[in-house]
Amino acid sequence: MPTPEQLAIDRRAPLRVSVWQVRWRRFTDFTRRYARNRMAVIGLLIVLTWVVVGLFAPWIAPYGYDKTNYNAANQPPSFAHPLGTDALGRDQFSRMIWAARTALIVAPTATVVGVVLGVFFGLLAGYFGGWIDEIVMRLSDVLFAFPGLLFALLLAATLQPRLAAWLSQFERIKPWVRAGYVEFFVVVIALSLVGWPGLARLVRGQVLSLREQQFVEAARALGVSPWRIMWQHIFPNALPPVIVALSMSMGSAVVAEASLSFLGIGITPPTPSWGAMIYNEFASWRSPSAPWLLWAPGLAVAALTFAFNFIGDGLNEALNPQDRLT
């Protein structure tokens, strides 16, 4: 009978893998898992399509968004005007395309404020705990209590006129003020101000569990500074839910923009917005009745929101492999 030493054969190949190979592998794994969710892929395509449409609006749209033509007012859909024209003879199809710009400028900017605040305070509260945690959590209690839209209205009614007056001094910003962007951003930033506690709690929960993990303890034992631990060790691991939340809140920001424009707060004519287009049609539907003007911008908003929600789902599955089977 041979001894173990005689029979021992080293079948293990030396393991030499570069960091980039690992990263590439992780990336392809991620895309593969993401691509499994067909709706998520469709969602991504929808968003990309709208981004392209928004970016190239001047070339894609047959007419300018504020090009009026009183000889061709209130026309039904035709070859020249696929969605007809409104009372001022503006081409509705072109306005739809230009409105994509508005939606896609506004949604990310609106989301960023909330996400930055949420991640920052979440990390802070979760990592340091103690009285910092207590303060952040109590602050979030206070903000949670404010009814979002109503708080936004309050801010819009109180701060916005002053801000707008102040900004109007600057010639370059004036057109933006007139287009209603200032009013809109006040409202949206108000929404983010009361919206970040949700994300902060999510991040905090993540951090609380990550903080106890061995790799963080190891880093601490090596004397790595708290901020570095937070950014290099904890933040990347707490990122997946943040990314998912980001995608979902993009969707709600698109809806928020359209809702507010629908209500006449925010983007003001002639700057095109899907919400305002729906409102125009809704307000006057008894007489001319052009239901496609209800459907077209409505479906545009809905499609974009679906897309962000599906992307969120897809990201969730791709980033949390353990949830895959459910």
Partner 1 sequence: MTAYLVRRLLWMPFLLLIVTFLTFVLGYYGPGDPAQLLLGQHSNPEAVERLRHELGLDRPLLVQFADYVWRALHGDFGESLTMARGRPVSDLLKRSLSITLQLNAVVLVVSLLVGVPLGVFAALKRNTWLDYLTMTGVVVAISLPTFLIAPILLWLFAYKWRLLPPGGWNGIFSRNIILPVIVMSAGPIAVFARQTRANLIDVLSQEYIRTAYAKGLHERRIFFVHALRNALIPLLTILGLMLGSLVVGSFITETIFGIPGVGRLAFQAFFSRDYPVIMALVLLIAIGYALANLLVDILYAFVDPRIRYQ
Partner 2 sequence: MGRLLEVKNLETRFHTQDGTVHAVNGVSFYVDEGETLGVVGESGSGKSVTMLSVMRLIPQPPGEITNGEVWFEGRDLLKIDKEEMREVRGNRIAMIFQDPMTSLNPVLTIERQITEVLELHLGMNHQQARARAIELLKMVGIPAAEERIDSYPHQFSGGMRQRVMIAMGLACHPRLLIADEPTTALDVTIQAQIVELVKRLRDEIGMSVIWITHDLALLAGLADRIIVMYAGQIVESSPVHELYKNPRHPYTIGLLQSIPRLDEKQRERLQAIEGLPPDLIDYPTGCPFAPRCRFAIEKCWEVDPPLEEVSKGHYSACWVKPEGAEIMHQWHASNTEESQ
Site for partner 2, rule CB under 8 A: 1-4, 7-9, 11-12, 36, 324-325
Give 177's DSSP letter: H
Return the closest-CA partner of residue 121 out of 102, 138, 109, 97: 138
Got the DSSP string for 111-161? HHHHHHHHHHHHHHHHHH-HHHHHHHHHHHHHHHHS-HHHHHHHHHHHHHH
Residues 187-216 that bind partner 1 (CB under 8 A): none
Largest CA distance in the chain: 104
If phi over 0 gives left and psi between -120 and 50 gives alpha, with beta otherwise, what is residue 89? left
Nearer to partner 1, 197 or 235 (CB): 197
Residues 256-315 that bind partner 1 (CB under 8 A): 258-259, 262-265, 275, 278-279, 281-282, 285-286, 291, 294-295, 298-299, 301-302, 305-306, 309-310, 313
Q: How far is the CB of 272 from partner 2 (least distance, A)?
A: 44
Please say whether the beta carbons of 130 and 149 come within 8 A.
no
Q: How far is the CB of 205 from partner 2 (least distance, A)?
A: 20
161 touching partner 1, by CB under 8 A = yes
Rounded to whole angstroms, the Cα distance separating 69 from 154 reads: 38
Q: How far is the CB of 2 from partner 2 (least distance, A)?
A: 7
Q: Which residues contact 303 (CB under 8 A, 6 or more apart)?
A: 46, 50
Residues 235-254 that bind partner 1 (CB under 8 A): 251
Nearer to partner 2, 31 or 289 (CB): 31
Query: Which chain residues interact with partner 1 by CB under 8 A?
Result: 138, 141-142, 144-151, 153-159, 161-162, 251, 255, 258-259, 262-265, 275, 278-279, 281-282, 285-286, 291, 294-295, 298-299, 301-302, 305-306, 309-310, 313, 326
